[in-house]
Amino acid sequence: MTTAEAFQTEADKTLLNMQRIDAIVNGDENAEITVDGGRTIPSFAKLQRSGGSSESTVVSLGNVSGELTLDFTKDGIYELTATGTINLPNPTTSTPSALVLVYITQDGTGGRSLAPGSAFEWDTDSQLSAASGVKDLVIMHVQASGHPYLTIHNFKGGGPGATRAADDIEFTASADGAQVHTFAGTRARVYLEGLLLPSSSHTIATNQITIGTAAQVRTGDHIRITAY
């Protein structure tokens, strides 16, 4: 069982989808990633080598503020600069297993937020980075129900080498199983191997945080905890 497969609840599909996206973004020229419905999606490197297709081309939307209507009937990749709050209306039609990726860069002001409609399933702990000029990847994968499952990959919140806040906690798991660490905050974002975990992956008690189980955390995994 993989780390992602250990999270079984509907909300915990975040991690599995994030691992799929990581493979799509960072896979080599031969990589193909299997998603729900048994479809395979080639890595960006493979698309670039083959010349890609019209549905795989990154579509630039320029500066965006207010309502952003996307096509959830097919795979699509978009990029934009957020100049205000971005509202995602509920899709009127959608195709199960469609994968929509949106690269969002904060403008010079920063602090722009994302507001999905009620049809989107997402972990509200997952938010756009606030700093000006920072880029995030928003991943939306249409479920069998027709509802897009949304998660956000914060590139600056990821694995080794990413920019750190002074109070971040960062360590490598020395053994399989739940990880207990001193933690003075009341809310945290937890990253495992650079991927944001759902809020159900950890519990916070007085001055300590417990992350994962034996099936979820393995020896050598890189873990980062950041309070917010």
The answer to whether the Cα torsion of 88, 21, 168, 6 is positive or negative is positive
Q: What is the pLDDT of residues 158-201, one digit of tens each?
A: 433 344 455 578 888 888 888 888 888 787 878 777 676 777 78
Domain that holds residue 26: 4-157
25/60 same-domain check: yes
Residue 164 falls within a domain, yes or no? no
173/80 same-domain check: no
Domain count, the chain: 2
CB-CB contact of 50 with 31 (8 Å):
no
198/150 same-domain check: no
How many CB atoms neighbour CB 6 within 10 A? Answer: 18
Give pTM, 2 decimals. 0.57
Residue 89 falls within a domain, yes or no? yes
Confidence band for 1, pLDDT divided at 50, 70 and 90: very low
188/153 same-domain check: no
61/8 same-domain check: yes
61/39 same-domain check: yes
Cross-strand bridge partners of residue 223: 171, 192
Rounded Cα distance, 179 and 13, in Å: 21
Residue 116 falls within a domain, yes or no? yes
- Give me the half-sphere count of Cα atoms (radius 13 Å) on the Cβ side of residue 181: 21
Which strand (E) or helix (H) includes residue 49? Answer: helix 44-50
